[in-house]
Amino acid sequence: MSSTSTATALSRQRIVELNDLLNETLAELDKADLFEESTLLATSLSALTAGHTEALSRHDLLNYYTSACGYAEILLEELDDTAHISLQTGLTNLVTAIRELSETPEGVAKANSSYKLEPITTTVGSILVVDDQSDNRTVLERLLSRVGHTVYTADSGEAALDQLTRHPIDIVLLDLSMPGMGGKTALTKIKADPKLRSIPVIVISGHQDLDSVVECITLGADDYLFKPFNSVLLHARIAAGLDRKQWHDRELNYLHQLEQRERFIRATFGRYLTDEIVADILEKPEGLRLGGDLKEITILMADIRGFTQLCSQMPPEQVVSLLNGYLGTMTEIIMRHNGTIDEFLGDAILAVFGAPKDDPNHAQSAVACSVEMQQAVAAVNRQHQTANLPQISTGIAINTGTVVAGNIGSDRRAKYGFVGTPMNVTSRIEDLCEANEILISDATKQALRNGDRLYDKGTHSLKGIDQPVRIFGVKWQN
């Protein structure tokens, strides 16, 4: 439809008659605190009767109709049902005629003098209105602020992006044809920004061709309304957009809480369990059930030689300081070699390799770890010298065998642990260790790829173990 035929559909004569009627009632409308809205409507109607409208495009002419329709609807909302009947009829006819210009089903308003806008929701939010036409921005700002929305405005795509960085916006109402950055470019930038893409964008435009609608929806627009828009439909679309935005914000908040809780769990339980066990619990909650599996692992046990005597010569706070420094250093080394710390037993550390995370080279990892642990004792002793703490030495025992690995305990209290004779054998080998010594069993030797650094310590009968065990020492000093 050309601008000439558009003007014919809503004749100048009808507009002039309504404008005259409006001017006649301005004094009475002033008493009802409606003077400002009436004046703005009169200005819009006067613009529609000006000669220059003949040369306007349909899109530009619809912008004029949009502002006139918006002010008319505001007045209809506020006018008393029993007063100014002729004005109400004229305003209703104006709204109806403008709606018919859009040639869309949603564009037809109720041609009824008793028609009032009833917002369908009490949900309110922050809305950014983007339109280069001042009248359109003013109409939308008034319509939306009347029902409780906080309204921000922008006259270009650049200004819209700036507003989005300054304010927490819930919905964007976006015009397409604007100087500088147009609506489609602004829409593309909004949806490409991870911080903004969740904000619903409703396009309100005089471009009524299907291609524009499809393109905007493809770019990420949540809805598309034609100018002149229907206020009831606009409020409904805004309510739906706010609902989507609020659900999205809730999901983000829940996700943030879950991430915080997971970080707390990892930080808290990571002090007692290895990262692998914590990750296994978080990723597979069924792993919390009691029970276990048979696993071939390598067990490492280390303790400070003569620790009981050292404790008797030190105040408690120094004992704790010494233990924390030693255990902290050893823990880092064990975890670096993919070991799992099963327990701290006073000054002793019980660690395993090959569970819960499988490691086909668990024996090699355990021996390499023990060498690094012994070498690290020298660094620990240097720290002790500075802190005026006694020098220490450690003994380390290693054994390989099949154990039951899993959650052991009760429904109220359980731990990931290991049960089996190889655990006891390791403890007995550790009893044989001298200061600064690493001892391994024959089972561990058989599991190693290379035994060049081993030396034979003979066969030993161990307390509580039926069969004698052959022991080997590890040369760890360079």
CA neighbours closer than 13 Å in the CB half-sphere of residue 39: 6
297 and 382 share a domain? Answer: yes
Whether residue 381 is contained in a domain is answered as yes
Q: What is the SS3 assignment for 232?
A: helix
Distance between CA atoms of residues 35 and 26, nearest Å: 6
Co-location of 58 and 136 in the same domain: no
Closest C-alpha among 168, 190, 189, 159 to residue 242:
168
Residue-range definition of the domain harbouring residue 41: 3-107
Domain assignment present for 258? no
Indicate if 464 and 403 belong to the same structural domain: yes
Tokens of 409: 């305990």
Q: Which residues of 184-209 are buried (b: 16+ CB within 10 A; e: fewer)?
A: bbbbebbeeeeebeebbbbbbbbbbe
| CATH number of the domain to which 424 belongs | 3.30.70.1230
CA angle at 123 for the pair 120 and 125, rounded to the nearest 5°: 125
Q: Which of 213, 248, 283 is the last residue of a domain?
A: 248
Q: What is the pLDDT of residue 230?
A: 78
Secondary structure (3-state) at 172: strand
In a domain, 255, yes or no: no
Verify that 46 and 93 share a domain, yes or no. yes
Buried b (16+ CB within 10 A) or exposed e, 375-389: ebbeebbeebeeeeb
Residue where a domain terminates, one of 211, 231, 248:
248
Whether 270 is in a domain gets the answer no
CB-count burial class (<10 Å; 0-12, 13-18, 19+) for 309: exposed
Q: Transcribe 373-434 into DSSP letters.
A: HHHHHHHHHHHHHHTT-----EEEEEEEEEEEEEEEE-SSSEEEEEESHHHHHHHHHHHHPP
Residue 263 lies in a domain: no
Q: Record the tokens describing residue 401, joined without a space.
A: 């065998």
- Classify 295 as helix, strand or coil: strand
- 244 and 282 assigned to the same domain: no
Q: Among residues 107, 137, 169, which one ends one of the domains? A: 107
**Which residues does 67 contact at the CB level (< 8 Å), separation at least 6?**
40, 44, 133, 135, 136, 138, 139
The answer on 142 and 37 residing in a single domain is no
One domain for residues 211 and 292:
no
269, part of any domain: no
CA distance linking residue 437 with residue 394, whole number of Å: 7
| 470 inside domain | yes
Same domain, 138 and 235: yes
- Are 147 and 243 within one domain? yes
| pLDDT for the residue numbered 104 | 46
Number of structural domains in the chain? 3
CA angle 392-397-400, nearest 5°?
155
CATH code for the domain in which residue 22 is found: 1.20.1440
For position 355, what pLDDT does the model report?
A: 85
* Co-location of 198 and 145 in the same domain: yes
| CA gap 206, 408 in Å, rounded | 70
Q: Is residue 265 part of a domain?
A: no
Whether 430 and 311 share a structural domain? yes
Do residues 23 and 131 share a domain? Answer: no
Grouped pLDDT means (10 residues each) for the chain, 478 residues:
45 62 63 69 69 57 71 75 71 71 44 44 84 88 88 94 94 91 93 92 86 91 85 86 87 84 67 62 57 86 92 89 92 90 90 88 96 94 90 96 82 76 95 95 94 92 92 90
Lookup: tokens for 124:
């309110």
Do the strands 291-304 and 348-353 form a parallel or antiparallel pair, or are they unpaired? antiparallel
CATH of the domain at 241: 3.40.50.2300
Among 374, 364, 334, 361, CA closest to 350:
334
